[in-house]
Amino acid sequence: MEKLEFPKGFLWGSATSSHQIEGNNHNDWSEWEKSSERIEQLKKDGGSPSDFISGRACDSYNRFEEDFDIAKSLNHNIHRISIEWSRIESEEGKFNNEAIQHYKTVVKAIRDRGMEPMVTLWHFTNPIWFASDGGFLNKKAPLRFVRFVRFVVENLKDDVSLWITFNEAVSVYGPMAYISGTWPPQKRNFLSYLRFRKNIIRAHTLAYNEIKNIYHKSPASEMNSDNVSPISPTPMSMSHNIREAQIGVVENNSPIISPWYWRLIGLSGLVSYYRNHFLLSGVFPYYDFIGLNYYCFKRLPGSYSILPRQDSVKIMDWEIYPKGIYDRLLDLKRKYNKPIYITENGIADATDEKRTRFIKDHLYWVWRAIQDGVNVRGYMYWSLLDNFEWHRGYGPRFGLVEIDYKNNQTRKIRTSAYEYARIISNNGFEF
């Protein structure tokens, strides 16, 4: 047994997203969930449509204080949330003061419990008006996104230091929406995917500049189609006693397992670049940290001769490969040399039989990466709660806390959550 100690000040917690836990959202996803095409497809696949409609979700829009009390009781000192754009700007250019006041209360509730809030500005969902006008395919999309970002940041800046612009936009959302056509808007058009990527890069860069401007109180850059240059921030000694903004972008980063002949012709490297690095390279150096979401690896044909089938949980069929997080962390350090937060890492384990082992095995490799010089600043398990898992509905159970959807969304803390709490309390564990 070896005692693994994490750096002093290491942040421990969990992550959530608005559409997956809040309930009663009205956005492009909630409309798609109830569409006749979607329901017909579910019936053909033998699924019950009610299991794939977000509805009340975890009712966390009303029960967030209860959820944060649980997180605090489990020793968490950071918590990642997302802001629901459709609540803030349900009509173009009209901002909802009641909605932003709600999120101000949410952020303050996190901080009042001794946790650091990390706020994601986009986590897959869009307002109806935005989606109806092409979403991120529209050339106006980057400036529309920045207008929303400006309103949110100006209202939350006093209590938030850690911001994320986009969650898994290019690595997951883009391919699911525009290549496989699994997610709305189900276009299956590669040219649309290319346009989407271009506008996401522009939107992130503009948003990064805007947030820095807000925190440093320097004259805002004139934002037009030709201006994406970063500002020169005012030194913090000259600022108005506000928090420093640290801005990151989150991607799902997976090892690519392939036989020698795919590597010989360079295909595995090409897949890795477009899967893992396109966005991070495209917006470099306009981020202060990288958010790494890690769950599993991706296989190319013939890879079973290189790596046999690994253990998995049937409902997601993601093979468990803890060492992959070490490989990804070292790769990110080599390419970008930025601080890194593990913003998601989790397992859909309804029985809670594998979750503790999953967490410890991955944390061992995170610790190894830290020993090898990677600046990892925190770890957030996905997720605090069981939640609505997008097109997979309510079947996958990722939560440290079990949600009984049939019994008024009752919360029950799982055994693995207490094991994770002990790791946090000791800032490490024996392995």
The range of the structural domain enclosing residue 237 comes to 3-430
* 16 vs 14: CA distance, rounded Å: 7
76's tokens: 């968490």
The pLDDT assigned to 226 comes to 40
* 21 vs 1: CA distance, rounded Å: 38
Q: What CATH number has the domain bearing residue 52?
A: 3.20.20.80
User: Helix, strand, or coil here: 252?
Assistant: strand
Beta carbons within 10 angstroms of residue 186's beta carbon: 16
The pLDDT assigned to 120 comes to 99
CB 155 within 8 A of CB 55: no
What is the value of pTM for the model shown? 0.94
User: Helix, strand, or coil here: 232?
Assistant: coil
Phi, psi of 94, rounded to the nearest 5 degrees: -110, 115
* 367 vs 370: CA distance, rounded Å: 5
Sequence-distant (6+) residues with CB within 8 A of 188 are 178, 179, 180, 181
Count of the separate structural domains present in the chain? 1
* 212 vs 146: CA distance, rounded Å: 12
Question: Which residue bears the tokens 């917690």?
Answer: 13
Amino acid at site 315? I
DSSP 26-88: -SHHHHHHTSHHHHHHHHHTT--GGGG--TTTT-HHHHHHHHHHHHHHTT--EEEEE--HHHH
Q: What is the pLDDT along the chain (431 residues), one digit of tens a residue?
A: 899 999 999 999 999 999 999 999 999 999 999 999 999 999 988 888 989 999 999 999 999 999 999 999 999 999 999 999 999 999 999 999 999 999 999 999 999 999 999 999 999 999 999 999 999 999 999 999 999 999 999 999 999 999 999 999 999 999 999 999 999 999 999 999 999 999 999 999 999 999 999 998 743 343 443 444 343 333 333 233 346 899 999 999 999 999 999 999 999 999 999 999 999 999 999 999 999 999 999 999 999 999 999 999 999 999 999 999 999 999 999 999 999 999 999 999 999 999 999 999 999 999 999 999 999 999 999 999 999 999 999 999 999 999 999 999 999 999 999 999 999 999 999 99
Question: Which residue bears the tokens 């590669």?
Answer: 190
Amino acid at site 114? G
User: How far is CA 118 from each of CA 81, 100, 332, rounded to the nearest angstrom?
Assistant: 6, 16, 21
Q: Which residues participate in catalysis according to the annotation?
A: 344
CB 362 within 8 A of CB 354: no
